Amino acid sequence: MPRTILFHVMQMHYVGHVISSDENGVFMNYRLILKLIGNMLLIKAAFLVFPLLVSFVYGGDDKVAFILTIFILIVPGAILSIVKSENKKFKIKDAFAATTISWILFSLFGALPFYFSGYFPSFVDCLFESVSGFATTGATILSNIEALPKGILFWRNFSHWIGGMGVLVFMLAVLPSMNASSINLLRAETTGLSPDRFVPKLRETARVMYTIYLSLTVLLIVLLLISGLPFYDALLHAFSTAGTGGFSNMNASVGAYGNVGAELIITIFMFLFGINFLLYFYLIKGSFKNVVNDEELRLYALIVLVAIGIITINLSRYYGTLLMAFRRSAFHVVSIITTTGFSTSDYNLWPVLSRVVLLLLMLSGCSAGSTGGGIKLVRFLILFKASAIELKKMVYPKSVKAVTLNEKGIDNDIITKTAVFVFIYFFIFLISSVIVSSEGKDIFSTLTAVIASLSNIGPGLGIVGPTGNYSEFSSLSKLVLSFCMLVGRLEIFPVLVLLYPSVWKKT
């Protein structure tokens, strides 16, 4: 049986991709995009049934908010879903447009339950919370989370689970209308690498992805229940962990429980959800060698171990015992590198060295093809190897050596596109930092707020640390940070490509 996989490790996820020449002379397929958006709105309405049921079970006052939103979604969703399109093929620019527009609309409509509930100060705050949820960031403007009704809290955390794997991947798994060209949607929404298929059929590929995702989530819920967490709390924290989002229904996050078992379980599963999902498929197929020899996984594990070791030693005097220092260090190192953002203590109060290590982890992120955010370790691997070869050529000009990853060569085009991605990431970071800094907040709060948004982490340092929130920022800054969260989740290019006029007209 031929081996088919989800992610070609050699191909970066549309890093710097431009519209290919085979699309010249072809208009944007607006009808197909509108139909997709209509289906997406109907699926979103179906998702909202779950928090509505939670509201009925717990007797919350947020029922009307969900009912209104469901009706608002059903009308345009039903109209758009019946739009006919003779050409049912998703070209690359169609996929970029559909993905970006779908995520924007998902965030806008996802903000409506927050707005109708009356628990949020403004619609900008509602939008910020919604984008943060679906982009799996976990940044919040709320200071008293526990005051919200359980239906709203469920919706916040459930948005992490939806956004973790992606709503378009879900559509590929369940809608029969999706055809082979929909692989471009998978490529536009999946993080890190260019996805191909586990199995010959696209829908089966999407189903395999969601089966692994759902199975790990259910296992996590069961283990959290065994550890002593109430069912509702276990469910919400499992959603956040699986999506590497970080929303909690407790003001003090996971630290509110003081439950060592729950902390250990969440730490392990944050790490697991930060691994490339391709490797789980290898495990299922018994290809253990591919897992063990994966360079990104080995780097991921090494960085986690080294960071835990450094911070544990640095915190040993702070906490008094090496065991407690290790417990706090392990949880927060994994929480930050996977861009989950849970907390069990205020690392704002930690020594400078520990905070610097966490800041570096915010930039790196975890594995490509995971539910985590950040730049992704595979990109650093590629650039590090390329830099080493270029330095060697300065000493030995005639030397010829290709960049390899997992014993396979990487084209120079991929290296260039990887460098472009990293450059644009930091360019967006600089521009956003300048805008947000105009408010006059301290430099730690300003810079880490942007990093935490762009890398989809949530908490940063200073006023946006684990015990703080984003409520003190202006509406302008919240919109900028929301843009950073969306761009970070979609890995920049699907959003930025749409700014080119040629994408929207005949080329």
- Binning pLDDT at 50, 70 and 90, where does residue 201 land? low
Kindly tell me if the per-residue pLDDT of 182 is higher than 90: no
Residue found by looking up tokens 């692989």 in the block: 183
pTM over 0.85: yes
Kindly tell me if the per-residue pLDDT of 193 is higher than 70: no
273 and 216 Cβ atoms separated by less than 8 Å: yes
Mean predicted confidence (pLDDT) in 78-97: 77
- Give the pLDDT confidence of 341-384 residue by residue, as tens digits: 999 999 999 999 999 999 999 988 899 888 898 999 999 999 99
Phi, then psi, of 467 in degrees rounded to 5 = -105, 5
Share of the chain above pLDDT 70, in %: 85
Residue found by looking up tokens 């800054």 in the block: 477
In the chain the first and final C-alpha atoms are separated, in Å, by: 41
- Give the pLDDT confidence of 460-477 residue by residue, as tens digits: 999 999 999 999 999 999
Give the integer Cα–Cα distance in Å for 252 and 255.
Answer: 6
Write down the pLDDT at residue 181: 46
Lowest mean pLDDT among 86-100, 316-330, 459-473: 86-100
Lowest mean pLDDT among 15-19, 186-190, 235-239: 15-19
342 and 253 Cβ atoms separated by less than 8 Å: yes
Question: Higher-confidence residue: 277 or 132?
Answer: 132
Domain boundaries, the chain: 7-201
Cβ count near 396 (within 10 Å): 9
Kindly tell me if the per-residue pLDDT of 195 is higher than 70: no
Write the CB contacts of 273 (distance below 8 Å, at least 6 apart in sequence): 164, 216, 241, 242, 243, 244, 338, 340, 370, 371, 372
Collapsed DSSP state (helix, strand, coil) of residue 10: strand
Share of the chain above pLDDT 90, in %: 62
Lowest mean pLDDT among 121-125, 233-237, 416-420, 469-473: 416-420
Averaged pLDDT score across all residues of the chain: 86
Write down the pLDDT at residue 185: 58
Write down the pLDDT at residue 505: 61
Q: How far is CA 65 from CA 53, 59, 79, 112, 134, in A?
A: 12, 13, 22, 7, 18
